[in-house]
Chain A
Amino acid sequence: MRPRPTRRWLAVMVLLGAIACAPAHAFFYEPFSDPASMKPTDELEERIWHEAEVARSQFVRGQPQGATLGLQQKVNAVLTRQWPQWAPHLRVHVIDNADVLAVSSANGDLILSTGMLLRLDTEEELQVVLAREIAHVVQRHAVRSVYAARVGAGANVLFQAAVRANSFIGTVGLLSSFQVTPDMLLADGGKAFFQAQIGKLRDNMADNFIRRVSATGFDAMVKTSLFGYSESLESEADDFAIEELQRKGIDPAVFVSVMQRLHDEAAVDEKKFSAFYANAGRMAERVSTGKKAVARHAAEKASSAANEMAAPASPTVAAVPAGDTAEPGTVAVAAPTPPAETVTAAAASEAPNPAKPDGDGDGVTVVELPTMGSVAAVVIAGALEAASDSGGEGAAAPVVAGAAEAAANASAAASEAASETPPEGTVESTAESAAEDLAKAATAQAPSPAIVTAALAAEMDAQASSAPSAEAVAASTGARPVSAASERSYQELLASVAMSVFEAELDAGHLNRAIRNIERGRQNVPLPPRHRLLLAESCWAHPDTQQAQRGETLVKAYLQDHPDDHRAHKLLGLIALKRGQLPQAREHLENAHRLAPSDDERGFIEQYLRRTEQKLKASL
């Protein structure tokens, strides 16, 4: 059997070739360089896009309604505002689901759950998750994953074929070695035997290939987008998101804070296997990546600050006010940036610091400038001061924390000051135009204080309505245009879905997650008072006795404020029943029965009351 080693080597070579070629081919799916190029480039990708349409039905069922629809419009507005070039090619779907989900499909569907949104307090935090999901779309992670799986499956089939071929040859060899001669088998029976062997081998190969490709293909695409792509692809998404944040002037510390929050929740969750953003291990990787980026960012800022201190700043950047007392070329000194703080927090901490001229009367504005927004605001204030000084009227605009607001105010004030004061040469006009330019820059770069405040809603709607391509896409997909955003604020909408998310977590037995989620302080999200009762229920249901004790304390405190809440009475009744305090149990349960809003609820309370009565009788 001379050919045997040759065939074996051939099979090995084919296998190695397939493996070697795999990564090379994966490079053909390069990231979409611009929105116009975002389309399938081959049959595989076309099929994946088609499957993505089907996969959407697994998450999105029917049209969103009520608060979910409102939230979808708000998130869509953020997408349109922050990624205006990509937004027309992406579709946001907010689903009413308590799990921490953010999923993207190859065709540009971005699916976020209400459970996820409840973990994102500010627009910057929402941008973190959106940017990661956009990265999956733009960098074509779905097709790359499917392709890699296919190659893997193909290689596996080849490998198995080699093994089977080897086994077949081995069988022939075995028959020969045992001298299974044709006269031991019927003549045509032997032929049939070999034909059957070959046929079986061929069928097995084909069947195996189809099964494996389908199993590791499109199903995998849906699953990986839900449970996470390979670590290298997820790292790419991290890098993309962090770069996007930095490009928008947002501190990467926001990325870390979001991922840390998700990690901390996932780490204490009773259910360990879950979707990507609820997986502690994968979130730990994200936190690690984010921290490295923060360190890099801090180092870059420190180095640029050192450079600025060492050399005079560029006049175009510094935009030094050119008042009578100002010295050309004097720079505003940048102070080191406080590390690991969100931009909004940093801006808020700076709020009370007005820009003021230094004491020696040289007219140079010397302040600490920790953020880009503040840089813009301070320079604008300086420009205004110069303008007002030259006209002898007007007061310097204070530097406000919300850089966008500051910029808008400053711009308006600058226009006002300019209109009130006659131009004096080119200095004032330069100051005014600089103020306007910087106001625009600050508006573009400054982080907003919360996702969609009332002030931003109008601006958001205006921007959305001025984006015809987005509307055209919305119209073509049947989605409601962004300009139809709900009048309720994002925080109000979030508050209205919060209770159902908490209830679902409680139902599913995610007690640690529910407790953390309810207790976490949220900026401007007016949770209904009953969330305190849900917290008490979660604590009481917790196996830890200390938590259970806390639950009792919480429900008692809640009942003092809400004596007509049947659910609080019922919980206290159940606690008393469990502790054998039967008279108290009966009293609370009777109150609960009296206050219960429905027959079903009364029915369950009656079941408890019957048990209490039975126990009372037995004790007597």
Chain B
Amino acid sequence: MTHLPLIDKTFTWLAAGLMLASLTACSPTWQNVRKEERIKGPVRAYTAVLPEGWKRAPTDTDVLVITRDGLFLQQISITKFELDEAFPNVELTADTPPQELAQLQLKRFKEEEPDLVEQVDEEKEGLLALFPVHHAKPLAGTTERIGLKPFVVDGKEAYRLETRSYNGWGLAYSSQAVGFVHEGDYWVVRYLAPTLHYAQRDQASFERFLQNLKLKPKCRLFCSD
């Protein structure tokens, strides 16, 4: 009887260890795009072509983030929001004009710069902690509108909003956001890069990404491949 608690403890530790190992194995990691690759978005609402040599960040299934050299050096993201949750106190409909969407989106950019990719633990300690990604993030309060024009994504009416903002080190960022309502969701495709060197260099990749973006009817049943 005296040994039983010890055995119980051993099994408990063993179970905990196995669980931890399995969780670690399943945790998302960065994926290299070795050659141009077509992917399906959540609920197959779109297909996109990932440029060769870029990397896909570990994110929620609803969010796509790709970068070539690193986050906040250049990144293309696709995010989606349900219409009634896209903006606080605003009820969007499938019929909401793109210009109104753009105004709401600009207001959001001025209020917050979302964290699409969570910082991993290794980045919080050691040398990487000296250059936290958080510091590179453009400051929402510095966002200003550069241009706004109508746009079309795979035949769907959209807006294209160009903004500029600065991060805590005074580095200027260019952002181009394309927003539209599709299949009952509000979608934003965004390119974000420092104006210095990167924004212009990878602009062509973003344009190609937009051209190859195809919107599909949402899969509502038996969506797994």
Which A residues lie at the B interface, using CB under 8 A? 54, 57-58, 61, 99, 271, 504, 507-509, 543, 600, 603-604, 606-608, 610-611
Contact = CB atoms under 8 A, between A and B. Distances in A.
B149 A600 contact: yes
A604 B170 contact: no
A37 B218 CA distance: 71
B98 A607 contact: yes
A607 B98 CA distance: 8
Interface of B: 89, 95, 97-99, 103, 106-107, 110-111, 141, 144-145, 147-150, 157, 159, 166, 168, 170, 172
Given A600-B148, A604-B99, A57 B170 contact: yes
B166 A604 contact: no
Contacts of A600: 147-150
Contacts of B110: 507-509
Contacts of B98: 604, 607
Contact of B149 (A54, A507, A543, A603): A603
A603 B150 contact: yes
Nearest to B172: A61
A509 B168 contact: no
A611 B97 contact: yes
B157 A607 contact: yes
B107 A99 contact: no
8 contacts: A54-B170, A57-B170, A507-B103, A508-B107, A604-B159, A606-B150, A607-B99, A607-B157
Nearest to A598: B149
A57 B168 CA distance: 10
Contacts of A603: 149-150
Contact of B95 (A61, A604, A606, A611): A611
B157 A58 contact: no
Contact of B97 (A507, A509, A608): A608
B101 to A, nearest CB: 11
A126 B159 CA distance: 41
B106 A507 contact: yes
Nearest to B147: A600
Contacts of A54: 170
Contacts of A271: 111
A341 B163 CA distance: 44
Given A509-B107, A604-B150, 8 more contacts: A61-B166, A99-B141, A271-B111, A508-B106, A508-B110, A600-B150, A603-B150, A607-B150
A504 B148 CA distance: 14
A600 B89 CA distance: 28
A93 B24 CA distance: 52
Given A607-B99, A611-B97, A507 B166 contact: no
